[in-house]
Every structure is written in structure tokens, then in C-alpha cells.
């Protein structure tokens, strides 16, 4: 059986994923994590072969974890399972070292085949995601301001656009409000945006954050 770990901050999602995997009879769920900061320790302790990883988790973001785990556990195969279908998340996840990318709405029909594919050493991306990625990359330019942002700056930007105050963002990311303010200042400088209103207009115009139902 393939040893699988599930990392998602929603208990109902973890329960649903576990049910799908147990019903398939091909997988053993060896660990579950509800906070990004728990993931590295649980990977070391439980040695999963495949990690199902949500991108938006408290403690540490999924993109940070992918980069960290690629160094700490190079044989671990990471399948991103998220609500985010936007191109910038897909590209960043694969650049960080993910082996597959699947949206939660596709999990019921594609999860078993996706895990099997990445566990065998392959790469998995659904047809819908592949088409969206190809379409977006065809039109994307390296000059777009949001491409200059780090993963953490992009996460802060997303939460600002959703209207979260600095203190709420700090709590969600397990950092200080001062640190979040620094990220905000840096991302505004990189994007050359003088205020939040312009950040919001840019995000809407470029369809940056279309899938945030999990927040």
C-alpha cells in the first residue's frame, strides 16, 4: 500500500479525503496535519510516500513547505490539493518541487489516479488545470508586477485583497503584525502600487485570486 499523509486545516476535508483513500483499498493514511508547522515533524516521524498538501494553511504556507521538504525528504512525492486554480499558484508549486496539482473540486473523481501517478514517479495535473495553465502562460509576461513577489509576499497580498486586517494575517501566518507590515511595504514597492485600492484593482483586473472558497 502507498503510505499517504494529509495536510489540510479543515477537518471535514481531511475526513473526506481519508474516506476516498480507504475506500480505494490501495492507500494507508499514516498521518494528518491541520497546521503547516506540524508537517515537517510528522513527515520525519511517519515517513509517508505521498503528501497531500493544501496551499493555504496556518503556520507555514504550502509553497514554503514544498521547498523545505524537497530538501529534507527528497524522496517524498508532494501532490498539491487546493482551491487555488490560478496560474501563479500552479507555476509556483511546480517550481518549488511539487509532483502534482489537483483542485479540491476534482478530488472525488481524480484523487486516486493522481496519487497513483505521483507515487510511481510521474507528474500529475488535471486536463482542466493543464489547459488553464497553457492558456495563461501563453499570455503572461515576466514584466507583470505580481511575478516579482516572493511566495510569502503573494500570500500577504492575497489576504489583503480579501480584506483581512494586518493582525488577522499575522495570526494566520504565525508571525508578528510588524512582519506582515514589512511584507506589505515590500510588495507595494515591488509592484509600484502606492495604496491598497490600486492593489485591489490590479488583482481584479488580472484575475489573481479567483478561488478563495477555503478561507
Q: Residue 60 has what pLDDT?
A: 85
Q: Residue 82 has what pLDDT?
A: 85
Q: Residue 104 has what pLDDT?
A: 85
Q: Is the pLDDT of residue 139 over 80?
A: no
Residue with more model confidence, 151 or 128: 151
CATH number of 2-138: 3.40.50.2300
Q: How many CB atoms lie within 10 A of CB 188?
A: 18
The CATH topology of domain 145-205 is Arc Repressor Mutant, subunit A (1.10.10)
Q: Residue 212 has what pLDDT?
A: 47
Helix (H) or strand (E) holding 52: strand 50-53
What's the chain's average pLDDT? 86
Q: Residue 56 has what pLDDT?
A: 84
Q: Which residue in the block uniquely carries the three cell numbers 496535519?
A: 33
Q: Residue 89 has what pLDDT?
A: 81
Distance of alpha carbon 88 from alpha carbon 147, whole angstroms: 8
> Which residues have a Cβ under 8 Å from the Cβ of 27 and sit 6 or more positions away?
1, 2, 3, 4, 21, 115
Mean pLDDT over 68-84 rounds to: 91
Residue with more model confidence, 62 or 141: 62
Q: 175-201: per-residue pLDDT in tens?
A: 899 999 999 999 999 888 888 888 888
Residue with more model confidence, 138 or 78: 78
Distance of alpha carbon 1 from alpha carbon 52, whole angstroms: 16
Q: Residue 75 has what pLDDT?
A: 94
Question: What residue spans define the domains of the chain?
Answer: 2-138, 145-205
Residue with more model confidence, 84 or 123: 123
Report which listed range, 30-34, 139-143, 153-157, 206-210, is most confident. 30-34
pTM surpassing 0.75?
A: no
Amino acid at each position: 500500500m502507498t503510505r499517504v499523509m494529509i495536510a489540510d486545516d479543515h477537518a471535514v476535508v481531511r475526513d473526506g479525503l481519508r474516506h476516498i483513500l480507504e475506500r480505494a483499498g490501495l492507500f494507508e493514511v499514516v498521518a494528518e496535519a491541520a497546521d503547516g508547522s506540524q508537517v515537517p515533524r510528522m513527515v520525519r516521524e511517519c515517513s509517508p510516500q505521498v503528501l497531500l498538501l493544501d496551499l493555504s494553511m496556518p503556520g507555514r504556507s504550502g509553497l514554503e513547505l514544498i521547498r523545505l521538504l524537497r530538501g529534507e525528504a527528497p524522496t517524498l512525492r508532494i501532490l498539491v490539493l487546493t482551491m487555488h486554480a490560478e496560474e501563479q499558484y500552479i507555476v509556483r508549486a511546480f517550481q518549488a518541487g511539487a509532483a502534482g496539482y489537483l483542485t479540491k473540486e476534482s478530488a472525488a473523481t481524480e484523487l486516486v489516479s493522481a496519487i497513483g501517478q505521483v507515487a510511481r514517479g510521474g507528474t500529475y495535473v488535471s486536463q482542466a488545470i493543464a489547459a488553464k495553465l497553457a492558456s495563461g502562460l501563453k499570455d503572461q509576461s515576466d514584466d507583470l508586477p505580481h511575478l516579482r513577489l516572493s511566495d510569502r509576499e503573494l500570500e500577504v497580498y492575497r489576504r489583503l485583497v480579501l480584506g483581512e486586517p494586518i493582525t488577522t494575517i499575522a495570526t494566520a501566518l504565525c508571525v508578528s503584525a510588524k512582519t506582515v507590515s514589512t511584507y506589505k511595504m515590500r510588495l507595494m514597492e515591488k509592484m509600484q502600487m502606492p495604496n491598497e485600492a490600486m492593489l485591489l484593482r490590479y488583482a481584479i483586473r488580472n484575475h489573481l485570486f479567483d478561488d478563495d472558497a477555503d478561507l
